Amino acid sequence: MSAPGFYASRLTRPGAVLAPMAGYSDAPMRQLAAEQGALWTVSEMISARGLMGGGDSEKLNLGRPYPGERERVVQLFGAESDVLAGAVARAEAWFQPAAIDLNMGCPVPKIRGKGGACLLQTPEVAYDLVSAMRQATRLDVSAKIRLGWDHDRSVEVAQGLEAAGAALITVHGRTSAQRYTGQADWEAIARVAASARVPVVGSGDILTPAQARERQRMGVAAVMIGRGAVGNPWIFRSLAGGQDDLPDARTRALTALRHAELQEQFYDDDTGRLTLRPLRKVLPKYLPDYPQLRDDLVQVVTAGDVRRVLRPLLEEGPDSAGGAADPAAITDPLNGYTLSHS
């Protein structure tokens, strides 16, 4: 008997998965999630064509692991079997992923060809893509879908993907037409989980450990957390068996600073991410109970700036910062995201 694949072996333990999020789930965010016990993490989507077109530093950074990164899935976006097969081989050689995922959820056709959620209109194409990807690697190949393009056909699509060899299917419980409006339909996700033989991971609108546990009871193999993990890697600790309370403000400030330092260390290139500009939207989410810091946090350029802004919290003793915050203090994390890439 062959050894269990990556997904089967990770799913033997409790925990939740960090969602792929363009502009967010980069190496520093994945590192913080992994340290808190995420079952696995998924890269930002990477265009298969772009990967085959060459190795500019932007694409390399999308796929490049941080030193020692292990449980990380690389997500590819594309619509042509030969390009995807080539990109799988390249991603495997360059990025040392634990598994490869096909994006079937992005509602914005970014590149020529009809990848992302467009594949939900022509699922036969996606089945061919998964077969071609499987032939290009011995790693697990998975797919992440939405419920459908404009109506729910997720059970049918999941069964086709499974027949094509997908080792796991993630379902974001919205149609592509819905984008991010309304609420994720977890009844629909549960129907896919009940009808598929491979593990099904559910995605959509989980903000607290309690919500995650409630969703877990709906028959999914695991839940995936995206927006609710921005500024809150501790949600993975809770679901891996730890406590539910958020750490005190000093610990959260220290982690925000560490995120900034990891960012500076990882992006030692010319893509513009060397400055902390992309983190400006993230840092205030570590400290939602300190709205007075927001104006300064959204202007930082270096980790030194972050240290200066957070100094009052960093200098407090571990016990003097007001204790553990109420998770409900994280207000409205579903708003304010840049959704152009997703």
Where do contacts with ligand FMN occur on this chain (CB under 6 A)? 19-24, 44-45, 75, 103, 105-106, 144, 172, 203-206, 225-228, 337-339, 341-342
Q: Answer yes or no: 118 catalytic.
A: no
How far apart CA 76 and CA 53 sit, in angstroms, is 14
Whose Cβ is closer to ligand FMN: residue 19's or residue 126's?
19
Crossing angle for the helix pair 27-35 and 249-266, to the nearest 10 degrees: 140
Shortest reach from residue 116's CB to ligand FMN, in Å: 8
Shortest reach from residue 342's CB to ligand FMN, in Å: 3
Q: Coil, strand or helix: which one is 256?
A: helix
Q: Coil, strand or helix: which one is 23?
A: coil
How far apart CA 216 and CA 37 sit, in angstroms, is 17
Which residue has its beta carbon closest to ligand FMN?
A: 226
Shortest reach from residue 12's CB to ligand FMN, in Å: 23
* Cβ-based neighbours of 314, under 8 Å, separated by 6 or more: 250, 253, 254, 257, 307
Which entry of 22, 91, 106, 306 is annotated as an active-site residue? Answer: 106
**What are the E-state strand segments in 251-311?**
none
Whose Cβ is closer to ligand FMN: residue 81's or residue 342's?
342
Shortest reach from residue 340's CB to ligand FMN, in Å: 9
Q: Is 227 exposed, middle or buried (0-12, 13-18, 19+ CB in 10 A)?
A: buried
Whose Cβ is closer to ligand FMN: residue 11's or residue 143's?
143
Whose Cβ is closer to ligand FMN: residue 24's or residue 186's?
24
Q: Are strands 169-172 and 222-225 parallel, antiparallel or unpaired?
A: unpaired
What are the catalytic residues?
Answer: 106
